[in-house]
Structure 1
Amino acid sequence: MMTEGTPVLVDVRKYDGRVSGRWAAVRLGEDEHGVWLGTERGVPVEAAKGGWTNRFDHVLLVPRGEWWIATFCAAPGPELYCDVCTVPEWSEDGGTTVLRTVDLDLDVVRPQGGEAYTKDEDEFAEHRVRYGYPEAVAEAALRACARLSEAARRESGVEPFTSAYQGWLELVTRSSANPGSGES
């Protein structure tokens, strides 16, 4: 059973199996929106196109049974970055809790103080053909993207995209600001 403070390996792949992003997070808790994971700035991220170091404290929301995950970043990062993906799956691998999903290219992004927009539609169209996304997968991705585009609008009032994430993000930013505090 995964409890608060449990380390989690987030493993996001592309449809062809390449690593899209792979990094360490910590389980912060769970609410009606799903499971919340936290990652402090400075955490290394592995990717097929080369790794990088996470530049912002952020929380990742893993909803139940949905075709997306949502990242909420501390400023100056994007306020919201939703990845349209296959329904995330949890597993254990050698005693490590692993979150796995397949990135389906479409993203809904809301910059700090800005309006939400969809990106990578061209990449989705290209990969849909190149990797042969099954029609059911492509349709689920497009439906998820349309719902996220509407819900992520600043004036929508739809949670968790309005304010529900703020308390979770504060747990990470507070811990990041006080590294010796013992908080996760």
Structure 2
Amino acid sequence: MIGDEVQVAFTKYDGSPHWHIGTRLLGEDEHGTWLHSPAGTFTWRPGLAFTYDRANVLCVPRGQHWAATLYDGGGASAVTTYVDITTPAVWSAGRVTMSDLDLDVVQRVGEEPFVDDEDEFELHRVRYAYPPELQAQARAASAAVLAAVTARQAPFDGATAARWLALAEPAWTPVAPPARPAG
């Protein structure tokens, strides 16, 4: 239901924890399921944590190898679009999980979009034994998303994210992500 809490859990391919984000459900459209994190949302991964200084929406498409975080205007960061290349999302009650495959498509204000962390992908495809088919899917997804972001195709057109951001209740408070594991 709109406004329900959804925990977003990115893992590494071996299942170890990566980014954890508390969000609220906004709804669905032809692009996927839309989640909201207001300014003040705390997020963490092993070794790093921060609080969002501006609102964002996360588009989780059905059966695709990516998840897109799209930011509103404000804040200190120049990043407007950050697309993680992932395994397809798996949904369970109040939670969505996907494995981060390292490649990211990033768009900053006034700059051309680019693929980031290709060096990590090369390292982790060996360390985590990404199957050849998954490697090909990740590379194809990063190329397709880069082309879509460059062409400003929906949902990477700015207007789509703005529509979803406008649906978020101003009174929504940030949702805490799950606690960090001990150790």
Contact 2:72 2:162 in 1 (8 A): no
Cα distance in 1 for partners of 2:48, 2:155 equals 31
Counterpart AA for 2:128: Y
* Correspondence for 2:145: 148
In 1, Cα distance between the equivalents of 2:3 and 2:112? 33
Q: Which residue of 2 aligns with 1:63?
A: 61
Give me the CA root mean square deviation: 1.9
User: In the TM superposition, what is the alpha-carbon distance from 1:129 to its structure 2 partner?
Assistant: 0.9
- Any gaps of 5 or more consecutive residues in structure 2? 176-183
The 3-state SS of whatever aligns with 2:2 is coil
Indicate yes or no: 2:151 matched with 1:160: no
Instruction: State how far apart, in whole Å, the 2-side matches of 1:24 and 1:157 are.
Output: 27
Question: Is it true that 1:103 corresponds to 2:100 in the alignment?
Answer: yes
The one-letter amino acid of 1:160's match is: P
Q: Is the 8 A contact 1:104 1:141 kept in 2?
A: yes
Question: Is the 8 Å Cα contact of residues 72 and 169 (structure 1) preserved in structure 2?
Answer: no
Aligned partner of residue 51 in structure 1, secondary structure:
strand
Is the contact made by 1:67 and 1:140 (CA closer than 8 Å) also made in structure 2?
A: yes
Q: Tell me the TM-score normalized by structure 1.
A: 0.86
Q: Cα distance, 1:27 vs. partner?
A: 0.4
Aligned residues between the structures: 170
TM score, norm. by length of structure 2:
0.86
Q: How far apart, in 2, do the equivalents of 1:72 and 1:50 lie?
A: 21
In the alignment, is residue 130 of structure 1 matched against residue 127 of structure 2? Answer: yes
SS, match of residue 13 in structure 2: coil
Q: Counterparts in 2 of 1:1-150, with a 5 A limit?
A: 3-75=1-73, 76=75, 77=77, 78-92=79-93, 97-150=94-147
143 and 14 in structure 1: CA distance in 2 versus 1, 3 angstrom threshold = same
Whether the 8 Å CA contact 1:37–1:61 is kept in 2: the answer is: yes
Partner residue of 1:171 out of 153, 167, 171: 167
- Relative contact order, CA 8 A, sep 6+: which one is greater? 2
| Displaced runs of 4 or more, over 3 A | none
